């Protein structure tokens, strides 16, 4: 091991540990989470009536949030598998960040669904009495599988790094050393062990592609298997998958920026890396734009009766401001801006990514809610709050809770393990 | 676009047609029908029954009388039936309009009995404070009605239904002429009228042509309803079973494995695909999970 490698290891292991900043940040998150959980307790006691959900709009921001979570979790597949298997080297240092984001979002996505249930105690009935014909069963299956694959894909390549933690981090608390001890599974860096990991990771990288495609395609089928205007689409699967890459890439950019600043990894998460992932964001956004054009232009051209009412609401009606803000500010403008190199520098890219990810969230809102406000049979003789969906404060708090939970998971993981794969970075430095 | 254009033209002309029909001269009621009066006293019980029927069969277009919630987008506009224009008509006229219908207003001749139609009139009259019921028409003698005999014969080869009506007249039970007879087949929603309404001849007979392609049950049985109405003898209804239909065996949609069926009866291809895909993926996942143990063992004993 040469001096340069020694420096890499030290730099990448340095952020590990639970310092003052970590404690303050986690206490803040915990306090916020407790407040949001209190809102959930109210919902549990009183029922879904405390939300803005009624007969017509029965899927509100909870489901929009769920779709957003599943979408964002797909990034692990893109960066680790697609770019990894095609030997695109620049992306390999980002694999772990992408996997952490994937795991956090995928694991919490299941909880988001439960928050939409009036009787969460009946959740297990899904397994006892679920019908295999229902896309909901498929969704539960793939989400669970994806969480397991993401965990393995985060863990397996990290074993050598955990062994490094075990060997080098002697100043950490005892329980943490014990944790490294267990998780590093007697890693000796032997040829045999390396071979097992190589093979395992390779299998996982291949498996994760169909599973990740399935998870978001099935999520899109929850909508697309109905006849309703706005959902009745044959391209919903790829439309969702490409949209997922956009929000996931934006999430990785934000994480990259934060880790770079806070963990002082400027030397490893380089300006050049931002430039490259900025280009990746343009690419996936262009693909998504292409699917958007298909998804909206074709129905607009045909203007079938039911679609017409729906599209009118989006383009000129009640949702127009939101729709055009999302499409222009969250998709078209970022594409144009990121074509210019100065915009792909860390800070401008971060700002664009924040716009993209907010746009991505509201895009899910626009996919879920307007359709529910346009049933085929006219809405008659119901109070106004049944006709127009307006999320309540309690509902918003319960929607924020999973986001806090994701931040907590990412924080803890990134403070317990090195956020960049040490071996990958070493070989990068060597090159 | 041209199709939309054409649709618009059709829509417009249909509306125009309705509008013309709506504006057409007043709905003429034959003089003898207009003079008819109810044989039943419009008491509270009649009114209540009429209200139930009204809610079920009339309110969807006319709205509840006096509340102005009739559907104004229809052409012609179905009037609010508490209106003066309606209430100043005679009982017989209202009864006639309910019976025969016109344009978008359906005929209730087959779906409501005479008594039920009078109940609706009784209900409508409760919205008119100035209304005084005219002298009751003479109600048909129930002994007379009981004497009516309906004798159907079913020709399953020629697909004809011949109905003989007899009643006690003067001294003996004799074939009854001038009786209106109608034939229906029972189905899930409303009865299906067969052929047209016939009037018995001197020998008390009517003949209905029965369709040859009507689906029956597994052996071809259909449930028939014969309705008889005679000015002097009143109205009655009898049901019969006859092998006049085409034998139809339709297994219930939930019998076979299908997408819409319960979980246990899911399509086999779906169960197999699901298990195959999930099984394959998890086979590899479990192998990888087990390989972690192997890493551990190898670490303990580097020679392995």
- Euclidean distance between CA atoms A394 and A371, whole angstroms: 23
Q: Which residues of A touch B291 (CB under 8 A)?
A: 196, 199-200
**Omega before A380 within 30 of 0, i.e. cis:** no
Architecture of domain B142-242 in this structure: Sandwich (2.60)
**Omega before B76 within 30 of 0, i.e. cis:** yes
Mutate which: A185, A187, A301, A380, vs B, most B CBs within 10 A: A185
ipTM for the complex shown: 0.90
Give the model's confidence band at B89: pLDDT under 50 very low, under 70 low, under 90 confident, else very high.
very high
B45-59 CB burial, b ≥16 within 10 A, e <16: ebbebbbebbeebbb
| Residue B182 backbone dihedrals phi, psi, to 5 degrees | -130, 150
Selecting from A132, A148, A190 the residue whose C-beta is nearest the C-beta of B298 gives A190
CB contact under 8 A, B288 and A152: yes
SS3 A376: coil
Q: Is B2 exposed, middle or buried (0-12, 13-18, 19+ CB in 10 A)?
A: exposed
Which pLDDT score, from 0 to 100, does residue A244 have? Answer: 96
Comparing CA positions, the residue from A359, A144, A398 lying closest to residue A243 is A359
CB contact under 8 A, A159 and B281: no
Which pLDDT score, from 0 to 100, does residue B220 have? Answer: 92
Looking at chain A, the number of H-run helices and the number of E-run strands are: 20, 0
Shortest alpha-carbon distance between residue B243 and chain A (Å): 41
The domains of chain B are located at 2-125, 142-242, 263-300
SS3 B265: helix
A380 reaches B (C-beta below 8 A): no
CB contact under 8 A, A133 and B260: yes
With a cut of 70, list the residues of chain A below it in pLDDT. Answer: 1-4, 429-431
Q: Is A139 exposed, middle or buried (0-12, 13-18, 19+ CB in 10 A)?
A: buried
CB pairs under 8 A between A and B: 75
Selecting from B284, B293, B300 the residue whose C-beta is nearest the C-beta of A203 gives B284
CB contact under 8 A, A207 and B295: no
B161 near B153, Cβ under 8 Å? yes
Q: Which residues of B touch A130 (CB under 8 A)?
A: 263
Q: Which residues of A touch B262 (CB under 8 A)?
A: 131
Mutate which: B298, B301, B304, vs A, most A CBs within 10 A: B298
Choosing among 3.40.309.10, 2.40.160.40, 3.40.1800.10, 1.10.760.10, the CATH entry for B2-125 is 1.10.760.10
| Residue B194 backbone dihedrals phi, psi, to 5 degrees | -110, 135
Shortest alpha-carbon distance between residue B5 and chain A (Å): 14
SS3 B184: strand
Between positions 202 and 221 of A, the ones with CB within 8 A of B are 203-204, 207, 210-211
CATH superfamily of A3-126+146-420: Formate dehydrogenase/DMSO reductase domain (1.20.1630.10)
Selecting from A133, A138, A207 the residue whose C-beta is nearest the C-beta of B281 gives A207
Instruction: List residues bridging with B153 in a β-sheet.
Output: B162
Which pLDDT score, from 0 to 100, does residue A429 have? Answer: 67
Assigned token pair, B116: 């039920």
Q: Which residues of B touch A148 (CB under 8 A)?
A: 285
Residue B203 pLDDT exceeds 80: yes
Mutate which: A128, A129, A132, A203, vs B, most B CBs within 10 A: A132
Which pLDDT score, from 0 to 100, does residue B20 have? Answer: 53
CB contact under 8 A, A200 and B291: yes
What average pLDDT does range B156-172 have in this prediction? 90
Residue B1 pLDDT exceeds 50: no
Q: Which residues of A touch B297 (CB under 8 A)?
A: 186
Which pLDDT score, from 0 to 100, does residue B252 have? Answer: 85
């Amino acid at each position: 091991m040469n001096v340069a490698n020694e420096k890499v290891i030290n730099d990448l292991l340095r952020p590990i540990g639970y310092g003052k900043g970590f404690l303050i940040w986690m206490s803040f998150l915990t306090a916020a989470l407790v407040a949001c959980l209190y809102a959930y307790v109210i919902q549990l006691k009183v029922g879904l009536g405390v939300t803005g959900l009624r007969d017509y709009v029965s899927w509100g921001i909870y489901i929009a949030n769920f779709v957003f979570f599943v979408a964002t979790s797909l990034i692990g597949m893109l960066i680790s598998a697609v770019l990894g298997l095609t030997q695109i080297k620049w992306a390999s240092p980002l694999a772990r960040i992408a996997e952490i984001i994937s795991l956090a979002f995928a694991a919490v996505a299941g909880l988001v669904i439960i928050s939409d249930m009036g009787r969460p105690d009946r959740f297990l009935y899904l397994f006892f009495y679920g019908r295999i014909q229902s896309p909901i069963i498929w969704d539960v299956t793939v989400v669970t599988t994806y969480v397991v694959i993401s965990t393995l894909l985060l863990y397996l390549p990290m074993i050598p790094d955990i062994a490094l933690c075990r060997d080098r981090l002697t100043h950490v608390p005892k329980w943490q050393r014990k944790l490294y001890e267990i998780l590093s599974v007697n890693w000796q860096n032997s040829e045999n062990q390396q071979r097992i990991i190589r093979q395992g990771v390779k299998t996982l990288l291949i498996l994760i592609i169909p599973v990740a495609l399935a998870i978001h395609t099935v999520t899109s089928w929850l909508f697309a298997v109905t006849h309703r205007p706005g959902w009745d689409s044959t391209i919903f699967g790829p439309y969702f998958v490409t949209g997922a890459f956009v929000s996931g890439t934006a999430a990785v950019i934000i994480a990259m920026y934060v880790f770079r600043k806070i963990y002082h990894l400027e030397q490893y998460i380089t300006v050049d890396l931002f430039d490259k992932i900025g280009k990746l964001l343009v690419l996936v956004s262009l693909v998504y734009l292409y699917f958007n054009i298909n998804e909206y232009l074709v129905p607009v051209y045909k203007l079938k009766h039911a679609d017409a009412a729906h599209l009118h609401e989006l383009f000129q009606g009640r949702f127009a401001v939101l729709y055009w803000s999302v499409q222009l500010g969250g998709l078209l403008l970022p594409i144009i801006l990121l074509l210019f190199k100065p915009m792909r520098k860390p800070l401008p890219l971060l700002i664009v990514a924040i716009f993209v990810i907010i746009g991505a969230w509201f895009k899910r809102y626009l996919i879920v809610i307007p359709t529910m406000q346009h049933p085929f049979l006219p809405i008659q003789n119901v109070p106004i709050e049944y006709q127009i969906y307006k999320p309540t404060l309690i509902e918003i708090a319960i929607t924020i809770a999973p986001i806090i939970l994701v931040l907590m998971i990412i924080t803890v993981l990134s403070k317990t393990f090195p956020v960049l794969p040490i071996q990958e970075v070493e070989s990068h430095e060597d090159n | 676009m041209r199709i939309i254009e054409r649709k618009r033209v059709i829509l417009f002309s249909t509306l125009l047609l309705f509008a013309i029909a709506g504006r057409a001269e007043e709905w003429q009621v034959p003089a003898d029908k207009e003079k008819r009066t109810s044989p039943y006293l419009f008491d509270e019980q009649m009114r209540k029954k009429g209200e139930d029927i009204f809610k079920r069969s009339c309110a969807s277009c006319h709205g509840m009388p006096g509340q102005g919630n009739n559907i104004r987008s229809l052409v012609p506009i179905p009037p609010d039936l508490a209106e003066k224009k309606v209430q100043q008509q005679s009982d017989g006229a209202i009864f006639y309009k309910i019976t025969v219908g016109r344009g978008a207003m359906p005929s209730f001749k087959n779906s409501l009995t005479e008594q039920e139609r009078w109940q609706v009139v009784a209900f409508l009259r409760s919205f008119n404070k100035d209304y005084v019921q005219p002298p009751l028409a003479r109600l048909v003698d129930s002994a007379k009605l009981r004497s009516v005999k309906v004798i159907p014969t079913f020709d399953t080869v020629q697909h004809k239904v011949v109905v003989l009506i007899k009643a006690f007249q003067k001294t003996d039970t004799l074939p009854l002429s001038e009786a209106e007879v109608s034939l229906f087949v029972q189905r899930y929603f409303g009865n299906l009228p067969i052929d047209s309404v016939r009037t018995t001849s001197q020998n008390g007979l009517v003949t209905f042509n029965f369709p040859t392609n009507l689906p029956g049950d597994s052996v071809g049985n259909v449930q028939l309803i014969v309705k008889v109405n005679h000015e002097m003898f009143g109205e009655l209804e009898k049901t019969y079973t006859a092998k006049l239909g085409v034998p139809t065996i339709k297994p219930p949609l939930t019998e076979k494995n299908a997408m819409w069926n319960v979980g246990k009866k899911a399509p086999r291809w779906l169960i197999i695909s699901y298990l195959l895909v999930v099984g394959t993926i998890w086979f590899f996942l479990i192998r990888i999970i087990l390989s972690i143990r192997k890493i551990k063992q190898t670490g303990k004993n580097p020679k392995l």
